[in-house]
């Protein structure tokens, strides 16, 4: 039996410190039929030197080097167009893949119907130095939250998938035309759009080490003046509204919209208040706390100091 080809798309931006460990973890996979495509999105550190050194040893690796920074979504799409795999992994080069990740995910896919489009798993959460901090699912509030099958309502409701643990069927990305390059980040939109048409499956063990890096893209959601990130969230929420088919789904989406609006107002993204008000009116849910949040945005009431207190109490990496 010929094993299906798996394409690992590696997105790099200033990961010099972690890059060699990350890429060697791909080469150490016990699954033989794989291709590795690295995109460096105009790193300003020594990442390119590390990549070029590695590809001299492993010339089968495809390297795409950007002269200008194009962002994650465009970088991924470029690599996806060049890829040939039946299954795709979107891999950030500050994370580490455990040796059996690909084989276990492919084996699960091969046992599932074609309408299963995504497999995801638990992950170890590690520090910049590689110290184990905990797990994404095990021992956390997400321990019992790993929906399978039709997960559309769950992805509307809350964040529960650790992105680097995902393997995607190529047909899913062909249906979505890759990632939406107009957005600042990809995971929330991908989950919403793909879960409408495809099922998800879960592997209850850690197959990836996800690194918490102080200057990482994901932690930008907890700093001010990242308006494009918050604009992307609102755009995706509007997409989700258009995809809702039942009143139950709209009710679930309302809860998520209120959560994200509260987040945006606490982060002082006041320019988004009108957009959230319009969406909540469309949902028939501009009641309760919603006018209060709109009032905070309209009159630019600064509450970021309160948010900083909440972040310290809860631990940033656990929040998103």
Note whether residue 61 is domain-resident: yes
Per-residue pLDDT of the chain (320 residues; tens, 9 = 90+): 799 999 999 999 999 999 999 999 999 999 999 999 999 999 999 999 999 999 999 999 999 999 999 999 999 999 999 999 999 999 999 999 999 999 999 999 999 999 999 999 999 999 999 999 999 998 777 767 889 999 999 999 999 999 999 999 999 999 999 999 999 999 999 999 999 999 999 999 999 999 998 765 454 445 666 899 999 999 999 999 999 999 999 999 999 999 999 999 999 999 999 999 999 999 999 999 999 999 999 999 999 888 778 777 766 434 33
Helix boundaries (H) for 138-226: 152-157, 170-176, 187-197
Structure-block tokens of residue 21: 């460990």
Give the Cα separation of 125 and 25 in Å (integer).
16
pLDDT number for residue 320 = 37
Q: Are residues 128 and 260 in the same domain?
A: no
Q: Are strands 87-92 and 167-169 parallel, antiparallel or unpaired?
A: antiparallel
pTM, 2 dp: 0.92
Q: Are residues 92 and 15 in the same domain?
A: yes
Note whether residue 320 is domain-resident: no
Structure-block tokens of residue 309: 């207190």
Q: Are residues 106 and 243 in the same domain?
A: no
Note whether residue 1 is domain-resident: no
Q: Are residues 14 and 137 in the same domain?
A: yes
Compute the half-sphere exposure of residue 17: CA atoms within 13 Å on the CB side of its CA: 10
50 within 8 A of 16, measured Cβ to Cβ: yes
Please report, for the domain that includes residue 175, its CATH number. Answer: 3.90.550.10
Structure-block tokens of residue 198: 């495809």
Q: Are residues 45 and 90 in the same domain?
A: yes
Q: Are residues 144 and 238 in the same domain?
A: no
Q: Are residues 28 and 150 in the same domain?
A: yes
pLDDT number for residue 144 = 72
Residue with tokens 């019992």: 144
Q: Say how many domains are in the chain.
A: 2
The interaxial angle of helices 247-266 and 227-243, nearest 10 deg, is 170
Closest CA to 101 of 212, 205, 210, 211: 205
164 within 8 A of 123, measured Cβ to Cβ: yes
Buried b (16+ CB within 10 A) or exposed e, 27-57: eebebeebbbbbbbbbbeeebbebbeebbee
Which of 193, 216, 239 delimits the end of a domain?
Answer: 216
Closest CA to 202 of 160, 240, 232: 160
277 within 8 A of 286, measured Cβ to Cβ: yes
Per the DSSP assignment, residues forming a β-bridge with 62 are: 37
Range of the structural domain that residue 277 is part of: 219-315
pLDDT number for residue 143 = 63
155 within 8 A of 252, measured Cβ to Cβ: no
Give the Cα separation of 131 and 115 in Å (integer).
38
Note whether residue 15 is domain-resident: yes
Note whether residue 264 is domain-resident: yes
Q: Are residues 125 and 51 in the same domain?
A: yes
Which of 184, 216, 248 delimits the end of a domain?
Answer: 216
pLDDT number for residue 307 = 77
Give the burial class of 318: count Cβ atoms within 10 A of its Cβ; 0-12 exposed, 13-18 middle, 19 or more buried: middle
Q: Are residues 118 and 201 in the same domain?
A: yes
40 within 8 A of 64, measured Cβ to Cβ: yes
Q: Are residues 229 and 81 in the same domain?
A: no
Q: Are residues 249 and 211 in the same domain?
A: no
Closest CA to 265 of 277, 253, 251: 277
Which of 216, 251, 277 delimits the end of a domain?
Answer: 216
Note whether residue 252 is domain-resident: yes
Q: Are residues 127 and 179 in the same domain?
A: yes
């Amino acid at each position: 039996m010929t094993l299906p080809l798996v394409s690992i798309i590696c997105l790099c931006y200033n990961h010099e410190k972690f890059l060699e460990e990350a890429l060697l973890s791909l080469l150490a996979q016990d699954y033989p039929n794989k291709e590795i495509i690295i995109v460096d999105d105009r790193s300003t550190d020594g990442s390119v030197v590390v990549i070029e050194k590695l590809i001299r040893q492993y010339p089968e690796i495809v390297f795409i080097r950007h002269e200008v920074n194009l962002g994650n979504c465009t970088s991924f799409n470029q690599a996806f167009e060049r890829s040939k795999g039946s299954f795709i992994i979107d891999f950030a080069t500050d994370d580490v893949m455990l040796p059996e990740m690909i084989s276990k995910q492919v084996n699960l896919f091969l046992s599932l119907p074609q309408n299963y489009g995504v497999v995801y798993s638990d992950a170890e959460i590690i520090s910049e130095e590689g110290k184990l901090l905990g797990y994404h699912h095990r021992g956390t509030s997400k321990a019992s939250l790993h929906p399978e099958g039709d997960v559309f309502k769950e992805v509307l409701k809350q964040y529960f998938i650790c992105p680097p643990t995902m393997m995607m069927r190529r047909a899913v990305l062909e249906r979505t035309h890759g990632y939406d390059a107009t957005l600042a980040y990809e995971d929330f939109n991908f989950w919403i759009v793909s879960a409408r048409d495809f099922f998800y499956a879960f592997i209850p063990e850690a197959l990836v080490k996800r690194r918490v890096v102080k200057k990482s893209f994901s932690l930008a959601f907890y700093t001010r003046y990242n308006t494009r990130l918050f604009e992307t969230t609102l755009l995706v929420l509007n997409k989700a509204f258009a995809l809702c088919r039942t009143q139950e789904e709209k009710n679930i989406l309302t809860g998520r919209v209120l959560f994200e609006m509260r987040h945006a107002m606490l982060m002082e993204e006041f320019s988004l208040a009108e957009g959230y008000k319009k969406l909540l009116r469309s949902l028939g849910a501009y009641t309760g706390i919603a006018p209060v949040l709109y009032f905070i945005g309209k009159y630019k009431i600064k509450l970021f100091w309160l948010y900083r207190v909440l972040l310290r109490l809860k631990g940033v990496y656990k929040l998103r």
